[in-house]
């Protein structure tokens, strides 16, 4: 199954595998970030949506200051995550992304724990809006944050303008979700 490319991600080569990420070693810099997004696009186009979403998670975890050329060209993949959720064919496995992000946020560890944790909650909120049919894990004993709490944390721990970019993705998702009268 070949899916159309996500407009929020870089073009992918004809052949790519996990070695593209491992080639970066321990570095989680702009080059790693770009590779994670590119590999996400590669997997998406081949119908491996759940794996593609995991690569976007890897991109969110890159150690970036906010002024890297890769990040300026390809902003943090909130829009790409929303696009994946909205355009994933129903016959394709994506698991339960709401539960995934809920557990990811609750189990995040260093480095940059708070930044990465709140990005996971931000993706959780996108999932709730774009794919409301996915329920949370009722046995997971964690207090789910409000949208305002996520926004405040992104402003505190994220890059400059990250919170505003996330809000724009939420606004677009809400507009696309709202039924037309």
Tens digits of residue pLDDT in 15-36: 999 999 999 999 999 999 999 9
Exposed (0-12), middle (13-18) or buried (19+): which is 179, by Cβ within 10 Å? exposed
Q: Are 29 and 123 in contact (CB under 8 A)?
A: no
**DSSP characters over 113-160:** HHHHHHHHHHHHHHHHHH-TTS---TT---PPPPHHHHHHHHHHHS-T
Q: What does each of the 181 residues of the chain score in pLDDT, given as a tens digit?
A: 789 999 999 999 999 999 999 999 999 999 999 999 999 999 999 999 999 999 999 999 999 999 999 999 999 999 999 999 999 998 998 999 999 999 999 998 899 999 999 999 999 999 999 999 999 888 887 889 999 999 999 999 999 999 999 999 999 999 887 554 4
Cβ-based neighbour number of residue 166 at 10 Å: 27
Model confidence, pTM: 0.94
Q: Are 37 and 20 in contact (CB under 8 A)?
A: no
């Amino acid at each position: 199954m070949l899916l159309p490319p996500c407009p929020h991600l870089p073009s992918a080569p004809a052949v790519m595998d996990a070695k593209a990420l491992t080639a970066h070693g321990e570095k989680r810099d702009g080059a790693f970030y770009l590779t994670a997004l590119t590999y996400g696009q590669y997997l998406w186009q081949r119908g491996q949506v759940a794996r593609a979403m995991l690569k976007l998670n890897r991109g969110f975890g890159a150690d970036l200051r906010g002024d890297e050329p890769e990040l300026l060209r390809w902003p943090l993949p909130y829009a790409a995550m929303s696009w994946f959720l909205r355009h994933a064919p129903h016959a394709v496995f994506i698991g339960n992304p709401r539960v995934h992000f809920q557990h990811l946020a609750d189990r995040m560890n260093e480095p940059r724990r708070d930044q990465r944790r709140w990005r996971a909650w931000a993706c959780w909120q996108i999932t709730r809006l774009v794919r409301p049919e996915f329920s949370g894990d009722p046995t997971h004993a964690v207090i789910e944050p409000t949208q305002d709490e996520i926004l405040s944390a992104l402003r505190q721990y994220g890059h400059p303008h990250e919170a505003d970019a996330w809000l724009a993705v939420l606004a677009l998702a809400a507009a696309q979700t709202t039924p037309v009268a």
